[in-house]
Amino acid sequence: MAPPETRRFESGRAVLAVVRLLPRISRPRTALFAATTLLTAALPLAMTIATGLLIGAVPAAADAGPGSPEARDAYLLLAAGVAALLLGRLAAHLHDAVAFNLGRDLELLLQDRLLAAVARPVGIAHLEDDEVLALLRIARQLGADFIRPERAIRGLAAIAPEFLAAAGASTVLAFFNIWIGLVWLVAWPAIFIAMQADYTRVGKTAYLRSTEMRETEYLRDLAITAEPAKEIRVWGLMGWLLGRYDRQWNERMAYSDRHQRLRPATAVGVIGTLLLLTVATALALADAGLTGAVGFSALAVYLVALTTMFNFSAFDDTAAFLSLGSLPVPKVLALEDRLTEDRREATAELPAAAPAHAIRFEAVDFAYPGAERAVIAGLDLEIEAGTSLAIVGHNGAGKTSLVKLLAGLYAPTGGRITADGTDLAAVDPAAWRTRLSALFQDFTRYQLTVRDNIAFGAPHLAGDTDLIWKACEPMGIRALIESLPKGLDTVLSSEYGGGTDLSGGQWQRIALARALFAVQAGAKVLILDEPAAALDVRAEADLYEQFLDITAGLTTIVISHRFSTVRRADRIVVLDGGRVVEDGTHDDLMALGGRYADAFTLQADRLARSSQEQP
Ligand SMILES: Nc1ncnc2c1ncn2[C@@H]1O[C@H](COP(=O)(O)OP(=O)(O)OP(=O)(O)O)[C@@H](O)[C@H]1O
């Protein structure tokens, strides 16, 4: 992989992005930060000048004796120096505290903005986009390791006053020799920019490999999480996993060794320049002192100014943190911008009772982002409200894709989907989703309490325990839940103390109860994608009976490979290649003698044979 390229002033842009965010955290604290930056720079410089002048004033004061105007001047200089020292310390403490707080709140702000940005798109396509995922990985590491914007602020807090102090010291030296002052004034920013560019390049080597690191982290997580643990052991995959993980890790380390260090030329150039400048300034000062061109007092001030210059940290951890900590900030903001592009405003109002008449797919086309092949192609389908529709078809026919489109998780690439004539693309997706209840094939097993797992169907009713039990009863899980250590409040994961895991069928019933809870909360359209795949045949038949009663009057869309479930639907469509190829009641389709009839007969024969074979 090619080493990273940095854009011109990339580090500067990143630091600027951090600075621009500060007023969003707090204007008064940003103002205080600016003020303490100035004070932390100015007060030590004032102390330096007072000290230099004091050194020059002491011989005259000693000659003139106590009470003389010379002695008074010396005491005044001493008082000014001490005051500058004390105030400088105070300002420095305040400065550090403000920087720490701002830094912590900056990370919080970025995390909040990141979460809001990821939640913003209506659909889920962005969560399958490689580029977005690479950015998300970087953003997810906010707060981890050295990738800490908080440290950028602390870096800024340390460097800004030192920078100003160095500029002040250069100005002081300009009084000695304008050219020496000017060269110092230009040299520091140049050195600083060169070092920051190199630190940025180093930081980017880590970011650039975000996609590869996602793979490596995936391998690591496979090895250490419970879900894949069964297969990993049964197939004996651990050795393979660890070997591959090690290989990827070593490749990354080798790459880092090559590119993740400062360029020798930069280091030699910076140190050489500093050495030359310092020697030249010191020689010039010594010469001026020896020849008497500069007085003792002025010489002392110039020498202290020269040493002040070296407080400036262009190449230490603080300087590195400034660029490394700033780097992710523009990336988070870019991700935010990118995800905001997908946002669309609602331009139509969904009628309150919709769908009271029909949901219509009108010439709908759909291809997954980045895929060339359409999985839904010119689909026309009218689903009458208040009826049940079953969708059947072979694996990959497009059944789940169709309901994902209906749920607004993806947008059609052509055609439109309407509810009572209103284009769903124009309505507020949140409003549409309150009318939907969906149970997907790969439903989520939340490692949270039973209550949460069910109430997530309508979170605003989570406190209604009676309603939760009402959703559990038809699913036959009340007794199961009551037998759990903490009933509804038992965590459904054996990874937590007092928690427990469930069987596949029990999980499916919990997920069905969640879907039912949403129906009780007012959803009008119920989507069930393979709702009974994990249930045994008898349980499925019982459950479906219950469901038919409960869902009477709802618009129900069921996807299933089990014809015992499918045949009870008011209408059945067979999908192939993303279009409807057969459409009718069970009897219609059996009479047609097409694919449905073939598949139904095959499954019925197999069932009959297996029941004959059973003792
Ligand atoms: N997120 C995705 N990105 C890209 N392609 C996808 C994605 N999800 C599904 N596909 C592809 O879309 C096609 C249709 O998939 P879909 O899940 O709709 O089929 P299905 O009819 O529900 O199949 P099954 O009966 O196996 O559940 C498949 O070829 C699949 O590979």
SS3 (DSSP) at 169 = helix
Residue bearing the CA closest to ligand 1, atom 16: 398
Mean pLDDT over all residues of the chain? Answer: 85
Residue 270 has pLDDT above 60, yes or no: yes
Instruction: Give the pLDDT score at 490.
Output: 93
Strand partners, 555: 525
Distance 401 CA to ligand 1 centre (A): 6
Residue 384 pLDDT exceeds 90: yes
All domains in the chain, ordered by first residue: 12-341 (1.20.1560.10), 353-435+524-585 (3.40.50.300), 445-523 (3.40.50.300)
Residue corresponding to tokens 């939760």 = 468
Tell me which residue has tokens 């000290």.
Answer: 51
Ligand 1 site residues (CB inside 6 A) read 128, 368, 371, 375, 393, 395-401, 441
- Measured by CA distance, the residue closest to atom 13 of ligand 1 is 396
Instruction: Tell me the CA–centroid distance for residue 167 and ligand 1, in Å.
Output: 63
Q: Which residue among 126, 375, 405, 580 is best mutated to probe the pocket of ligand 1, counting the most ligand atoms within 8 A of its Cβ?
A: 375
- 132, 342 contact by CB (below 8 A): no
Question: What's the pLDDT band for 571 if we cut at 50, 70, 90?
Answer: very high
> pLDDT of 390-447, one tens digit each?
999 999 899 999 999 999 889 999 999 999 999 998 888 888 888 999 999 889 999 8
Q: 66-70, 258-262, 464-468, 561-565 — which is least confidently predicted?
A: 258-262
pLDDT at position 47: 86
* Choice between 129 and 173, residue whose per-residue pLDDT is larger: 173
Cα of 575 vs centre of ligand 1, distance in Å, is 13
Q: Per DSSP, what are the bridge partners of residue 583? A: 573
Sort residue 421 into left (φ over 0), alpha (ψ -120 to 50) or beta: left
CA angle 598, 376, 525 (to 5 degrees): 85
Whose alpha carbon is nearest atom 31 of ligand 1?
A: 396
Q: Is 66 helix (H, G, I), strand (E, B) or coil?
A: coil
Query: Which atom of ligand 1 is closest in space to residue 561's alpha carbon?
Result: 25
**Measured in angstroms, how far is the CA atom of residue 398 from the centroid of ligand 1?**
6
Q: Whose CA is nearest to atom 8 of ligand 1?
A: 401
Query: Which ligand 1 atom sits nearest the alpha carbon of residue 578?
Result: 14
Q: Is residue 355 reached through a cis peptide bond, with omega within 30 degrees of 0 on the bond before it?
A: yes
- To test the pocket of ligand 1, the residue of 379, 400, 403, 581 to mutate (highest count of ligand atoms within 8 Å of its CB) is 400
Cα(400) to ligand 1 centroid in Å equals 7
Q: Higher model confidence: residue 478 or residue 321?
A: 478
**What's the gap in Å between 524 CA and the centre of ligand 1?**
26
**Max CA distance (Å), the chain:** 125
Helix (H) or strand (E) holding 411: none
Asked if residue 143 has pLDDT above 60, the reply is no
pLDDT at position 178: 93
Q: How far is the CA of 131 from the centre of ligand 1 (A)?
A: 22
Query: How far away, in angstroms, is 406 Cα from ligand 1 center?
Result: 15
Q: Which of 399, 404, 405 to mutate to test the pocket of ligand 1 (most atoms within 8 A of CB)?
A: 399
Q: Is the pLDDT of residue 549 over 90?
A: no
Strands 555-559, 388-392: pairing kind: parallel
C-alpha 396 – ligand 1 centre gap (Å): 5
Q: What is the bridge-based pairing of β-strands 376-384 and 358-366?
A: antiparallel
Tokens of 12: 């500067």
Distance 397 CA to ligand 1 centre (A): 7
Of 584 and 206, the structure prediction assigns the larger pLDDT to 584
Task: Give the ligand 1 atom nearest the CA of 575.
Answer: 21
In angstroms, the CA 58 to CA 359 distance is 95
Mean pLDDT on 351-375: 90
- Write the CA distances from 350 to 362, 425, 435, 523, integer angstroms: 18, 11, 10, 14
Q: How far is the CA of 48 from the centre of ligand 1 (A)?
A: 72
Tokens (6 digits) for 311: 């407080």
Q: What is the pLDDT of residue 565?
A: 77
pLDDT score at 2: 61
% of the chain beyond a pLDDT of 90: 30
CA nearest ligand 1 atom 25, residue: 395
Residue among 132, 366, 368, 563 to mutate when testing ligand 1 (max atoms within 8 A of CB):
368
Q: Is the pLDDT of residue 246 over 80?
A: yes
Per-residue DSSP letter, 14: H
Which residues neighbour 4 within 8 Å (Cβ) at sequence distance 6 or greater? Answer: 201, 204, 205, 207, 208, 259
The per-residue pLDDT for 587 is 93
Residue 556 pLDDT more than 90? yes
| Residue of 180, 154, 158, 157 whose CA lies nearest to 169 | 180
pTM: 0.74
